[in-house]
A and B are shown apart, each in its own frame.
Chain A
Amino acid sequence: AQSVTQPDIHITVSEGASLELRCNYSYGATPYLFWYVQSPGQGLQLLLKYFSGDTLVQGIKGFEAEFKRSQSSFNLRKPSVHWSDAAEYFCAVGAWNTDKLIFGTGTRLQVFP
């Protein structure tokens, strides 16, 4: 069955520390992978997406993600976290043969000064 797993429900980091949010997927077709961020009281915003090509993709707000087919993973990273990065982060997977995205359950990021 198609699924997306975000193993970490809640992560806390200090401002300035590095960050990695995990995402694993199970999908029959070649996946299209997305990371969205949901700030408090706001809708989701696309951070970055991977369709093909270079497996390291750059996104907005200094985020990047690496697609590893062998591990079925698409982890999100940031070298230095800012307090404004505190939000909920969702990984999602789609494909050319579907009109829908499957979302993970999200990881809530808390940033301490």
Chain B
Amino acid sequence: GAGVSQSPSNKVTEKGKDVELRCDPISGHTALYWYRQRLGQGLEFLIYFQGNSAPDKSGLPSDRFSAERTGESVSTLTIQRTQQEDSAVYLCASSFGRGSTGEQFFGPGTRLTVL
């Protein structure tokens, strides 16, 4: 596709379960970002991948959160033992080069609800 895609669009899970969120970036984009957007709040940076470099995990809120990226393609954000405070929209963005100086292209997000 032409844009960033994310799946699933909605996920409802029970507290304590693990979830996996997927992001397909725009082909050729070397940078990939994950953000969390809680209701009524701004975007909270989670993790950043740039090419084959080690990811910047400085925004991950706890060790329950992890992410992987295969080369310069698909990324998966995993949340283990979900808690109610994990309920949010998780946004993925990709950019050609550095996302701090160029445009980031965002996916539509995955809305996660933890019951």
Interface string of A15-51 (1 = CB under 8 A from B): 0000000000000000010001000011111100101
Q: Indicate if the CB atoms of A32 and B100 lie closer than 8 Å.
A: yes
Contact call B106/A32, Cβ cutoff below 8 A: no
Q: What A residues does B31 contact at CB under 8 A?
A: 99
> Could you tell me the dominant secondary structure of chain A's interface residues?
loop
A89 and B98 alpha carbons, distance in the complex (Å): 22
Which residues of A are found within 8 Å of B93, using beta-carbon distances?
43-44
Within 8 A of B (CB), among A40-92: 41-46, 49, 51, 90
Check if A46 sits within 8 Å of B104, measured CB to CB: yes
A102 closest partner in B (C-beta): B45
Question: Does chain B have a CB within 8 A of A110?
Answer: no
Tally of chain A residues near chain B (CB < 8 A): 24
A96 to B97, alpha carbons, bound, how many Å? 12
A92 to chain B, nearest CB (A): 8
Beyond A100-B45, A100-B56, whether A46 also contacts B103 by CB under 8 A is yes
Instruction: Find out whether the CB atom of A99 lies under 8 angstroms from the CB atom of B42.
Output: no
Interface residues of A (CB under 8 A from B): 9, 32, 36, 41-46, 49, 51, 90, 94-96, 98-106
